[in-house]
Chains A and B, each alone.
Chain A
Amino acid sequence: MNWTAIAAIYRFEMARFFRTLAQSFLSPVLSTSLYFVVFGTAIGSRIQQVEGVSYGAFIVPGLIMLSVVMLSISNASFGIYFPKFLGTIYELLSAPVNFIEIVIGYVGAAATKALFVGLVILVTATFFVEIRIEHPFAMAAFLILSCLSFSLLGFIIGIWASNFEQMSLVPQLVVTPLIFLGGTFYSISMLPPVWQTISLFNPVVYLISGFRWSFYGLSDVPILLSLLAILAFTGICLAVIGWIFKTGWRIRS
């Protein structure tokens, strides 16, 4: 393993993040505050509590996941697409590194950035609502696994995309609807029975349910199922990346 190269990629990617640290920090603070104003105050005044938790506090895990998932995807896809777009990928391909090392460098950096933003949102939320974390280790595990798995997905999107439009296609057309319909702002139990069943086909439901469980002990689906779902998703992403590695798809001619 060429750890020096992995560290070089990681440092280089993080430098991009630090160049725009103010934006990286302010943007999630502002958007989280807006969510609390709109959803927490306006809607929360009508929905007092969800399963014993105040509505404002109830949406916190979903809000964190919403940003973490979207940022993991955009960071990782941009991270690998930008060198393709600029042509600087020649350096990665001609360096003594294998694809696994490249993935660790890029995905690690993307996941770190998303994790940072996730934590900023968590801290911001404490200014608006009272939050309790019943299972801190499970919370950390879900958060880190989500950052990593969606960064892997982002990396695949970045490899696949041949223009900037394609880069935003999957996040906008697939991931955003899945997140909004995955129980970010509500409990699945609040839906009619038919929609409850349909929701179970949405993988994000398992993610948000598991993450919310780590906060309040509340879940729409069994916690083990949530854990298995996120592990399975990570496994699928790794398998796809393994295939890309073997074939050099869209990277090496």
Chain B
Amino acid sequence: MTTILSIKDLRKTYDDGFEALKGVSLDIRQGEILALLGPNGAGKTTLISTICGITTPTSGTVTVGGHDIQADFRAARRMIGLVPQEIALEPFEKVWNTVRFSRGLFGLGHDSARIEEILRKLSLWDKRKNAIKELSGGMKRRVLIAKALAHEPRVLFLDEPTAGVDVELRKDMWAIVDELKAAGVTIILTTHYIEEAEAIADRVGVIDKGELLLVQDKKTLMAQMGKKQIEVMLTCTIPSIPDSLAHHNLVLNRQGDALIYTYDTNAERTGITTLLNDVAEAGLILRDVQTRQSSLEEIFVTLVSGDAA
């Protein structure tokens, strides 16, 4: 797949000496959705701000569609749309005018049909004549997206797009992201919500203390680092794990009516068949069996806490 955005050894040290980015290198493929995960102050917003031109990098290079963000900033920025973390909008301006302004600012002539299409897609058409201050928080977020899409960017940055929005709107946002991806837009989103990355990203990058800890295909990451558990539920309660099952390293749940077995999905033999045979031989009767895979959240916590092997 073609690389649309290439970051090489990007560093940013602020005037007070704080190193926000410590040599980040990353290639982003055209048309993918990359989720950047990281705790507060990890460098996610600095990374986005630097690529978009809001912050000047200390060293390193970034190219967007082959255009250097500093030497050829006009061509590079025309390809980028940014939805910031904070709701930053002129309260007295009308929705239509603010979207029109954004399009003009990026050098594109007025196109009513295009603006209408964007507003309709974001369910803002009915609000086009409203002043921003009359809109709800969720609607304001949609306006920010409309502004970012007004100049038809090929790369869209969404900085914490669903921070503080309700579940319904979050699902709407995901649907919008899906539509944009279908239209070929490359999307880079930062998020605190692991479920968001899990639900919509193709690849996941984990950033902490200005360093990119890893970037991996979401499924591969979960398969590599994810542990799976099988919960064997019994028809009766038992006081402790029978000796004949001790070698399986089982955990008995608090109620004493389920055995929990953790196994590696990548291992040649998972040991599930042997376990189930041994459970039957021990005279225990199965009521139900459930499996559970570790979430991205657990993987993320493991990575940033430095426990990653």
Contacts and interface: CB of A to CB of B under 8 A. Distances in A.
Contacts of B100: 8
Nearest to B108: A4
Given A4-B108, A86-B90, A88-B90, A252 B54 contact: yes
A90 B90 CA distance: 12
A90 B84 contact: yes
B101 A8 contact: yes
Given A90-B84, A93-B54, A96-B78, A8 B89 contact: no
Contacts of B89: 86, 88
Contacts of B37: none
B265 interface: no
Contact of B77 (A83, A86, A87, A95): A95
A9 interface: yes
A229 interface: no
Interface stretch (A10-18, A64-72, A121-129): A10-18
Contacts of B109: 4
Interface string A1-32: 01011011101100110010000000000000
Contacts of B137: none
A253 B20 CA distance: 12
Interface in A51-93: 82-83, 86-88, 90-93
B183 interface: no
A94 B80 contact: yes
Contacts of A177: none
Contact of A88 (B77, B78, B88): B88
Interface residues of A, number: 27
A12 B101 contact: yes
A59 B101 CA distance: 41
A97 interface: yes
B271 interface: no
B55 interface: yes
Nearest to B76: A96
A82 B93 CA distance: 13
B52 interface: yes
Interface in B272-297: none
A9 B105 contact: yes
B210 to A, nearest CB: 15
B104 A5 contact: yes
Contacts of A2: 74, 107
B86 interface: yes
B80 A8 contact: no
A94 B101 contact: no
A96 B90 contact: no
B124 interface: no
B106 A5 contact: yes
B97 A95 contact: no
B84 A96 contact: no
Nearest to B50: A253
A2 B108 CA distance: 10
Nearest to B97: A15
Contacts of A235: none
Contacts of B80: 94
8 contacts: A8-B100, A8-B103, A15-B97, A16-B92, A86-B88, A86-B91, A252-B56, A253-B49
Interface of B: 14-15, 49, 52-56, 73-75, 77-78, 80, 82, 84, 86, 88-93, 97, 100-109, 147
Given A252-B54, A253-B54, 18 more contacts: A8-B100, A8-B103, A15-B93, A82-B90, A86-B88, A86-B90, A86-B91, A91-B82, A91-B105, A91-B147, A92-B105, A93-B53, A94-B53, A94-B82, A95-B105, A95-B106, A96-B73, A96-B107
Interface of A: 2, 4-5, 7-9, 11-12, 15-16, 19, 82-83, 86-88, 90-97, 248, 252-253
Q: What 8 A-B pairs have minimum CB-CB distances, sorted nearest first?
A: A8-B104, A87-B88, A96-B74, A94-B52, A96-B77, A95-B105, A93-B54, A12-B101
